[in-house]
Structure 1
Amino acid sequence: MAKLIGNLLSGSLGPYVFRIVNGKQIVSRKEAPGTRKQTLATKAASRLFGDAANLGTQVRKTLAAQYPDLFDRIASNKISGHLFKALSTCKYPQTGHFEFGEDSFALMERLEFNPGSPVSSMMAKIPHVGLMKNYLVVFLSELVIPREFKFPKKSIRCEIVVAVSLFRLREGLMVELAEHQSIVIEKDQVIVKPYEFKFEVPAGCLCLVTVFLNYSTVNKNGWLLIKDNDFSPGCICGAIVTPGKYQGNDQRIWKKMIKFI
């Protein structure tokens, strides 16, 4: 149904669609369902976006323990969109197969889950992620409170949580919940000393590294976590594909997911 905005229409009316673009009225005829023709390229892109969205859903599931019920549609679409761009660069049109390198998913880095409370506004130095043999090392630089690490009002403690989600893309397997480590800092510390989080990771695996800032205050009932849809700092700080082929030499339980071959 079309609505009158000033002297212009916006919406549909009969067989026509009315739009307002730069203050001007644009009118076009409605497309009948099923009449739009897709090329082979657009069909392939549509399938790939669907696969990216599927993988994005699995990424969110692995972080359920750190970020429960806080992924809204905007955050979910951002994750799927970034995965689609990354996967697009890895798929060779001549063969239709994927080729993954260590940095294939690098554009996922610095993706904020909540633009209203980004990690980058609270922490001046996002942790650096590197690969040392079969270990993923997440290095937290020294931070000065409050110049380089901020505490919101009423908060007096922050748990910095680093989580690693693992995906064997070719085999279509994943670890259901991200592995995580954390440190706790207090507002009156003044200095957050450098710290290394270290995770042993298998070969041939996509490792998505996320960091979350869980601030707390205290009331008569004890510690109270300050975390809701308006304030929930979390972001991806690293995305590395470990070289080599999975050797089956770990004790993790792998769950089925979509394959990328």
Structure 2
Amino acid sequence: MAIIQGKYLRGSVGNYAFRKVGNRNIIQSKPGRGTVRQTEATQESSAEFGLASTAGKMLRYAFGNLYGYEYDGRMMNRMVRTLTEVIGKDDRPRGQREIARGDISRLKGFEFNAAAPLRNQWKLTPEARMDEKGTIRVSFPSFVYLKDLTPSSSCSYCIIKAQVIAFDFKNSRYKSLGEEKLEVKLITGRQEATEWTFESDVPEGCLLLVGFSLKYYRNNNGILEIVQDRSKHSSTEIIG
């Protein structure tokens, strides 16, 4: 059944569906039952899209506290597209491919908020590596905030965070290996180099991803408030 809302119809009548897109009323025909037949290739594509979508949802939830659920409007689509590229690098036949067998490095540099990419917020490059003992080390060099950061005039603090998460994409599970943070007063001229270590208690078959975030704050009578400037919101990136 369709209803009239203002100048537009909403809902369906017979084999037609009515919906609003922008300022236009769109009419679409609906396929009849049993008339849509998927080819094998279509089924394989659908399965891989579902795999990428499920993995994307898991990534968004896993890193949610890190990026504070501040993201651009196309983040979910960008993530699914990137994960589809990861899967595409598995050299097995379509329908058998997995994220863990693909090129996971394609996630490196993924920005949760393209409106405020981390590379635009400072001139440093955080790094993540695993040493010979299996310890995960996340580091960034020393910096001078007036030179290497780009806060707005209202900012008085920044908080830098890193989180390491082990993902079992095949079984849709993940485990956080820890989170570290550094609060920096922006009146300080120089911040020394920082390195955080995480013990790699990694379940078998898991892949490790490291997220890094930079958020700007102002001091309002002793209470830190995130700066409500879209270009400064929660810059969070997967760095390795």
Fold similarity call, TM over 0.5: yes
| CA–CA distance in structure 1, aligned partners of residues 79 and 159 of structure 2 | 24
| CA–CA distance in structure 2, aligned partners of residues 74 and 42 of structure 1 | 24
Q: Any conservation in 1 of the 2:160–2:181 contact (CA below 8 Å)? A: yes
Q: Any conservation in 2 of the 1:122–1:150 contact (CA below 8 Å)? A: yes
Q: Secondary structure at the match of 1:185?
A: strand
- The runs of at least 4 aligned residues of structure 1 exceeding 4 Å deviation read 34-38, 227-230
Q: Secondary structure at the match of 1:54?
A: helix
Are 2:129 and 1:130 equivalent residues in the alignment?
Answer: yes
| CA–CA distance in structure 1, aligned partners of residues 46 and 95 of structure 2 | 18
| CA–CA distance in structure 2, aligned partners of residues 76 and 68 of structure 1 | 15
Q: Any conservation in 2 of the 1:56–1:83 contact (CA below 8 Å)? A: yes
Q: Deviations over 1:169-226 (max 9, x none)?
A: 3444322x57311112221222232111211221532112111112111123532222
Alignment of 1:152-171 (within 5 A): 152-171=152-171
| 1:193 match | 192
| CA–CA distance in structure 2, aligned partners of residues 153 and 114 of structure 1 | 21
Q: Deviations over 1:128-184 (max 9, x none)?
A: 111214222112122232222222221111110001222123444322x57311112
Q: Any conservation in 1 of the 2:58–2:172 contact (CA below 8 Å)? A: no
TM-score (norm 1): 0.69
Number of residue pairs the alignment of both structures matches: 208
Q: Any conservation in 1 of the 2:87–2:99 contact (CA below 8 Å)? A: no
- Alignment RMSD (CA, Å): 2.8
| CA–CA distance in structure 1, aligned partners of residues 139 and 222 of structure 2 | 35
Alignment of 1:14-29 (within 5 A): none
Q: Deviations over 1:61-92 (max 9, x none)?
A: 11232333424541122122111211221251
| 1:234 match | 236
**Structure whose residues are more often helix by fraction:** 2
The verdict on how the C-alpha distance between 1:212 and 1:110 changes in structure 2, with shifts beyond 3 A counting, is same
**CA-CA distance at 1:38 after TM superposition:** 4.2
Q: Secondary structure at the match of 2:209?
A: strand
Alignment of 1:24-63 (within 5 A): 33=31, 38-63=38-63
**CA-CA distance at 1:44 after TM superposition:** 0.9
| CA–CA distance in structure 1, aligned partners of residues 124 and 50 of structure 2 | 34
**CA-CA distance at 1:41 after TM superposition:** 2.3
| CA–CA distance in structure 2, aligned partners of residues 187 and 71 of structure 1 | 25
| CA–CA distance in structure 2, aligned partners of residues 136 and 178 of structure 1 | 10
**CA-CA distance at 1:36 after TM superposition:** 6.6
The verdict on how the C-alpha distance between 1:187 and 1:128 changes in structure 2, with shifts beyond 3 A counting, is same
| CA–CA distance in structure 2, aligned partners of residues 178 and 164 of structure 1 | 5
Q: Secondary structure at the match of 1:59?
A: helix
Percent of aligned pairs with the same residue?
22
TM-score (norm 2): 0.74
Q: Any conservation in 2 of the 1:214–1:227 contact (CA below 8 Å)? A: no
Q: Any conservation in 2 of the 1:165–1:179 contact (CA below 8 Å)? A: yes
Task: Structure 1 unaligned segments of length 5 or more: list them.
Answer: 1-14, 16-29, 239-261
The verdict on how the C-alpha distance between 1:71 and 1:122 changes in structure 2, with shifts beyond 3 A counting, is closer
Task: Structure 2 unaligned segments of length 5 or more: list them.
Answer: 1-15, 17-27
